[in-house]
């Protein structure tokens, strides 16, 4: 089954404790992206990747890192999480950027205490 998977689905952590949210797709998509969803703010793009080893900032990249060492995986790293990063995070992928449909993962709900 074609899908985007994220792990973990739920995470409670404390301020400053490094964490990684994994994202994997099995559709051989070139483009991948991370978003955060907050009430009243819709989805905001954090980082995106046009292909392996090519990443770029979205609208809200502060406090996040990403890497794209292989095509199927695009982990999101929070090196020193803070409470304002409490949010619902979505990973998405598509064949390429622009006009192509994005396929979203199920989401990761993060609470930073």
Q: What share of the chain is helix, strand, coil (3-state, %, to 5)?
A: 5, 50, 45
- Is residue 27 close enough to count as binding another protein by CB under 8 A? no
Residue placing its CB nearer to another protein in the complex, 59 or 79: 59
Cα-only R_g, the chain: 13
Per-residue CA distances from 90 to 76, 103, 108 (Å): 10, 10, 7
48, 78, 81, 93: residue in contact with another protein (rule CB under 8 A): 48
CA pair distance 89, 106, nearest whole angstrom: 9
The one segment of 16-24, 38-46, 62-70, 76-84 that binds another protein by CB under 8 A: 38-46
13, 95, 104, 111: residue in contact with another protein (rule CB under 8 A): 104
Residue placing its CB nearer to another protein in the complex, 18 or 25: 25
């Amino acid at each position: 089954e074609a899908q985007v998977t994220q792990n973990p689905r739920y995470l409670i952590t404390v301020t400053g404790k490094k964490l990684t949210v994994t994202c994997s797709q099995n559709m051989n998509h070139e483009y991948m992206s991370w978003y955060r969803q907050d009430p009243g703010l819709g989805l905001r793009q954090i980082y995106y990747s046009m292909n392996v080893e090519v990443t770029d900032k979205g609208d809200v990249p502060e406090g996040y890192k990403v890497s794209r060492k292989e095509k199927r995986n695009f982990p999101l790293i929070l090196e020193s999480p803070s409470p304002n990063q409490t949010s619902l995070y979505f990973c998405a992928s598509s064949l390429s950027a622009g006009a192509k449909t994005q396929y979203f993962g199920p989401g990761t709900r993060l609470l930073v205490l």
